Every structure is written in structure tokens, then in C-alpha cells.
Amino acid sequence: MAVDPHLLANAIRALSMDAVEAANSGHPGMPMGMADVATLLWTEYLKHDPADPKWPDRDRFVLSAGHGSMLIYALLHLTGYARPTIADIKGFRQLGSPCAGHPENFLLDGVEATTGPLGQGVAMAVGMAIAERHLNAEYGDALVDHRIWAIAGDGCLMEGVNHEAAGLAGHLALGRLTVLWDDNKITIDGATGLSTSEDIEARYAAYGWHVVRCDGHDRADVRRALDAALADPRPSLIACRTIIGKGAPNKQGTAATHGAALGAEEVAAARKELAWEHAPFELPDEIVEGWREAGRRSRGDHAAWRRRLEASADKAEFLRRMAGDLPAGFSLADYIQSLIEAPQKVATRKASEMALEAINAILPETIGGSADLTGSNNTKTKNQKPLTKSDYSGRYIYYGIREFGMAAAMNGMALHGGIIPYGGTFLVFTDYARPAIRLSALQQARVIYVMTHDSIGLGEDGPTHQPIEHLMSLRAMPNLDVYRPADVVETAECWELALRDESGPSVLALTRQNLPQLRTQPADNLCAKGAYRLRAAAAARKVVLVATGSEVELALSVAEALEGQGVGADVVSMPCWERFDGQDEAYRAAILPEGPLLVSIEAGATLGWERYTGRSGLNIGLDRFGASAPAGDLFKHFGFTADAIVPRIVAALKD
């Protein structure tokens, strides 16, 4: 016999308030307010199989309002996922429990995205919806035919990124996407009326979305809205009018329920109000069985899908792509060999395009794009046609001027699986995308950022466009590999490393200006070690020059000049700090030995180079904003010439 849906929803409410109470920390209001909507969604609409949480054709559910994390922990537990267990939930927000403060994708199956930074969940859901349609275009309905659901709060729909993401979703007509808005008219500071009076429904309609409203506590009305969303070809926003903290009789409807334990007294009152007589964390068998039964709902769909997969000629390739494995034997060696045979003097942004020509021809899983700088970022290759609402099979996305939205969408694509997304803008605008880059890193998502115009070398556009602190600030981010290749060969090597790194994002910092090919001998991937000796001192070694990107060429000319004065100088190219730091002590000491004067040269903030050069080393960089002028004039003006640098080194050697 079917269990009363109110009881199912109250199980979410009870678990949420009890877990927050036990932790004396967390957000009971949102899960209690959205319990009814989520119950209907998860018991009748969401296609998933708790016995196989990675089933590729499952629906994706994103809790964009990540502070309501107890909602998803309760849903996963109740529908029968192996984790979280009740013990995990009892450990909510404590060390060792997968029930972290906010949901983290790598801690629990069924948590498709790490959320909490408001707005980004919606934007990642847009990326997932792009991935779904793209893979559907490639593999057909038999293998790819699912939906993306997101729950967003008032906060998600205030954040700027929701504008970028919703604009893109409307433009691409991503009808598989449904955003359920927890329209409770409350945020932390109080009523939403304190800070906003916009018409969100009109705004979403203007983006080209289907918009429908319902009473989030009236099951029939929520069903009507969900059915309307399913029937409409556009992305849907469902405004669910809810009462935050519903069930807590004295606090519901107020900000007091948003982000604090309700307190023993109010929890007791809520138990009475909900007629929930069970002790904390105790769930009656009949309610658990009701939920488990709902969790088994899609088993038949799953089995039918498995049969279609077995019968599909695409099986092996589809599974390879969904697993994130590169094709067996993937390598850029032939392309790199062609460079050794016929050296090229090109900007590294152009070198990136050349590498991509080779990559995109052999990796069908790449989807490129740019935030309206395609011709400057060199992100589009000849074989890429645009991904549009009339042809989702395209492998190039015109993201428009939406850096944050682009980066978040790329996270969504990478998390969905089957796709390796890369996208470009100017390096200086990583600031616009940074919150999503941070989530790429935290979520261990393979997203490749093609960031061009990487220094004052971009020239006349001036200081607004010239990155200074960007390389260093990106290097400060955990689990992000920052590459700054010095020539066409290093660029290809760095691309290969970025593609091979399944468990994290990479930034490729690339030049606008041409650079000579410095690597002319066949070799293994030297960038893999992060830094390597490009030139060994001829005279007795007194100096080791460490440089990145466009300044490696300069370092070579400085070394030549020093050698002319009888001063032996190594040149170390260091395209990737993170990789170098991962080498053993012997390798690091061989490349950056004790004794010689260590000199860093990079046209950006010097902060941090001391870790390699020591306190007595010399750090040549730029700790002020740039200026508008041709690149050559700027390098001269700011002292990035051998004539300016050699005397500084000679003086330092005398100290």
C-alpha cells in the first residue's frame, strides 16, 4: 500500500531538523520548505537508480541552493543509496562524514555537483543540459535521453551568474532543463523585499524560458507544474511558493529557520505539529519502505537501457567517453615531430590552435568555445561547427560575453561526463570566471581554460587588459594546474598534460605575440616535470635563470649576454609550478641547485617566486599595472630586456 506522501515528506523534515540539531549547525529551513516538492520530484519524476548511481542515462539533480544540503542527504538515504547511512547523517557537518556542510560531488554518489556558492548550481545544470543534448545528438535516444533538474533558492536567482546561465539556456532552447525555484521570499537578512523587487518570472520568460507557478505545498498543483514543464520544449522555471521551515510552528516563514538549529523546544513543537512521534534519526519501516519503493521505480528503465546498450554498435566508444578515458594510444607525438622537422615562430595562442587541430581530429569528446573572443583565443578549429539549438551535435559553443557562465557551464559538462570542455577568454578575465574555476578545482573537474593575452605583451589594449597578479593568484588555487608554455612545442605538451589530467582543471596562459620555437630536438614531454633545463651553462655556472612563457626567450638572451662576460648561466623553463612541485627532491635540486644566483623572470607579479629563488635570489617581474603601448615598447619600458636585466644580475653577483 502506498504511503501517504505527507509522511514521506515529513521524513525529510525530521531528518533535516534532527541532523542540524545534532550538529548545532546547518540550514533546516530550506529542506523543510522544499520537502513536499522534492518528495514528488524524487518519487514520481526523477529517473535514477540508487543501486547504480552512475548509470549514464540517469537524470541529473543539482541542489543549487546547496546550504539546504540536508535535503539531498535525506533524499539519497531514503531512496536507498548505499551512502549516506543514518550514521553518516548523524555525523552531518563533522569530520569524516560524507554529509559535508554543503554537498560535495566527490563525497557521495548522487551528488552530481558541489554547490553552496549560490547561483553556480543553476549554471552547472545548464552545462549538464548542453551535455545531454550534445550526447543525444551523437548517440541517439537509445543511449542518451534524460533530464536535468535543479533546485534554486532566492539567492541563486539573485546572483549575476544566473543571468548568464539562463540567457544561454534560453538561447540554446535546453528543454531538458527544469529549475525549481524555492520561492519562499526569505533570505538570511529577512524578507526578499528588503533587497529585491524584480519580476523573476518575467525575466525568465524574456530569456525564452517556459515559466509556471505553483503552490509548493499542494501536491496536485506541483504535479501540474511539473507536467507543464515536461510538456514544454523550452527550459522551464517552476516558481514553487513555499514556506521556509514548514513544520516548525513558531519559526516557519521566517529567516530564523534559514541557517540555525531550531532549538530543542521548537523541534519538539515541530514533532507535534507534524505528528511525528519518532525519536531523532528513527524512521518507521513503513516510511522507509515507501521511499525505497520509489527508489526502485526506474529499475525497469535502467534494465531496458542496458539492453539497448548491449545491442548498440556504439557501446564501447560510449562507455569510454562516459568513463572519461582517452582513446587507447592517444598521443600528440606525430604532431610534435612535425614541429621538430619544421620549426614554427607563432604566438602560443596560435600554437594552441595548431595543437587543437590535432586534438580535435582524434578526440571526439572535446567541446570548445569562447566568451566572444574566438578569433583572439584561437579556440575554434576547422572541423568544429557551432553547437546550436537546431544542431546540438556541434562541438563549438559561442558563449557570448559570459565568462562566469561559460566556466560554470563547462563544469556542468565535465561533471555530466562524456565531454572534455575547453573555453577561452583573456587571462585578465579569469577574474570574471574565478568562482567557477575554483569549483572546477574543488570538484576535480577536467575543464581546460584557454586564457590568452597573458601579459603586458598584449600591448596597446593597456592596463585594463594586461594581467599582472593573475598567474600567481591562479597558482595559489589548490588542484589547479597553471601552464605557461614558452613555444609551440611546449604548448602541445601542456595541452596533452591538461587532457590527461582527469581529476582537475588546467589553465593554459598563452601569448598574443609571436615566440620563436625554442625546442628543436626530439624529446619526451619535458613539460610533464613542470620545469626543465632548456640550456646548460657553458662557462662555470654562477646563475640559474628560471622563466615562463614569453620570458623564456628573454632568459636565453640574458644567458647569452652573461656567458659573453664569462658568467655561466643555466636557463630553466618552468611552464607549470604545480608539476614541478610534484617532482622528487633530487630532481628539484638538480634543476634549481644551491649555490648559483637564482633569478626568476616573468612579466607578472613577483610574489611567490621567492619559493624557488630564495631570499637572496633576484625576482624580475611587474608589481604594478601596465600601460598602453606596443608590446615591444612596454617590455623595454618595464625592464624586460637583456640590456636591463644583465646589469642587475651582475650587480647581484657582486653582493
Ligand X SMILES: Cc1ncc(C[n+]2csc(CCOP(=O)(O)OP(=O)(O)O)c2C)c(N)n1
Active site residue ranges: 403
Taking CA 334 as the corner, what is the angle to CA 330 and CA 335, rounded to the nearest 5 degrees?
A: 100
Interface with Mg ion, residue 10, by CB under 5 A: no
Instruction: Give the contact letters, 143-162, x = binds to Mg ion (CB under 5 A), - = no.
Output: ----------xx--------
For the bound state, the minimum distance from the C-beta of residue 242 to ligand X, rounded and expressed in Å, comes to 8
Interface with Mg ion, residue 184, by CB under 5 A: yes
Interface with ligand X, residue 180, by CB under 6 A: no
- Phi–psi pair at 623, nearest 5 degrees: -110, 30
Q: Which residue is nearest to Mg ion (CB)?
A: 154
Interface with ligand X, residue 194, by CB under 6 A: no
Cα 652 to Cα 655: distance, rounded to the nearest angstrom: 5
Q: Which is nearer to ligand X, 29 or 175 (CB)?
A: 29
Interface with ligand X, residue 21, by CB under 6 A: no
Cα 295 to Cα 75: distance, rounded to the nearest angstrom: 9
Nearest to 132 by CA among 142, 145, 120: 145
C-alpha cell at 74: 535525506
Interface with Mg ion, residue 257, by CB under 5 A: no
For the bound state, the minimum distance from the C-beta of residue 155 to ligand X, rounded and expressed in Å, comes to 3
The DSSP line for 391-449 is: BTT-SEEE--S-HHHHHHHHHHHHHHSS-EEEEEEEGGGHHHHHHHHHHHHHTT---EE
The single residue among 258, 297, 535, 579 that binds ligand X, judged by CB under 6 A, is 258
For the bound state, the minimum distance from the C-beta of residue 65 to ligand X, rounded and expressed in Å, comes to 5
- Phi–psi pair at 535, nearest 5 degrees: -140, 135
- Containing 637, the helix (H) or strand (E) segment is helix 631-637
C-alpha cell at 114: 558541489
For the bound state, the minimum distance from the C-beta of residue 327 to ligand X, rounded and expressed in Å, comes to 38
Contacts with ligand X by CB under 6 A: the residue count is 19
* Axis crossing angle, helix 285-295 with helix 69-79, rounded to the nearest 10: 90
Question: Is the bond preceding residue 84 a cis peptide, omega within 30 degrees?
Answer: yes
Interface with ligand X, residue 244, by CB under 6 A: yes
> Residue 402: which of Mg ion, ligand X, none does it interact with, CB under 5 to 8 A by kind?
none
CB neighbourhood size of 345 (10 A): 12
Interface with Mg ion, residue 186, by CB under 5 A: yes
The single residue among 99, 186, 407, 408 that binds ligand X, judged by CB under 6 A, is 186
Cα 54 to Cα 391: distance, rounded to the nearest angstrom: 27
**Contacts to ligand X from residues 47-66, by CB under 6 A:** 65
What number of H helices and E strands is found in the chain?
Answer: 25, 20
Q: Which is nearer to ligand X, 50 or 68 (CB)?
A: 68
Question: Given the rule CB under 5 A, which of 186-194, 280-288, 465-473, 619-627 is the region that contacts Mg ion?
Answer: 186-194
Contact indicator for 474, 466 with CB cutoff of 8 Å? no
Interface with ligand X, residue 30, by CB under 6 A: yes
Cα 353 to Cα 340: distance, rounded to the nearest angstrom: 17
The single residue among 56, 98, 155, 617 that binds ligand X, judged by CB under 6 A, is 155
Q: Which is nearer to Mg ion, 156 or 229 (CB)?
A: 156
Q: Which is nearer to ligand X, 157 or 226 (CB)?
A: 157
Interface with ligand X, residue 188, by CB under 6 A: yes
Interface with ligand X, residue 384, by CB under 6 A: no
Q: Which is nearer to Mg ion, 69 or 184 (CB)?
A: 184
> Residue 117: which of Mg ion, ligand X, none does it interact with, CB under 5 to 8 A by kind?
ligand X
Question: Given the rule CB under 5 A, which of 183-191, 203-211, 397-405, 451-459 is the region that contacts Mg ion?
Answer: 183-191
| 481-483, strands of its sheet edge to edge | 396-398, 366-370, 420-426, 448-452, 506-510, 481-483
Interface with Mg ion, residue 236, by CB under 5 A: no
C-alpha cell at 11: 521524513
Interface with Mg ion, residue 619, by CB under 5 A: no
For the bound state, the minimum distance from the C-beta of residue 331 to ligand X, rounded and expressed in Å, comes to 41
- Containing 182, the helix (H) or strand (E) segment is strand 177-183
Interface with ligand X, residue 153, by CB under 6 A: yes
Which residues would be at the binding site for ligand X (CB under 6 A)? Answer: 29-30, 65, 67, 116-118, 153-156, 159, 182, 184, 186-188, 244, 258
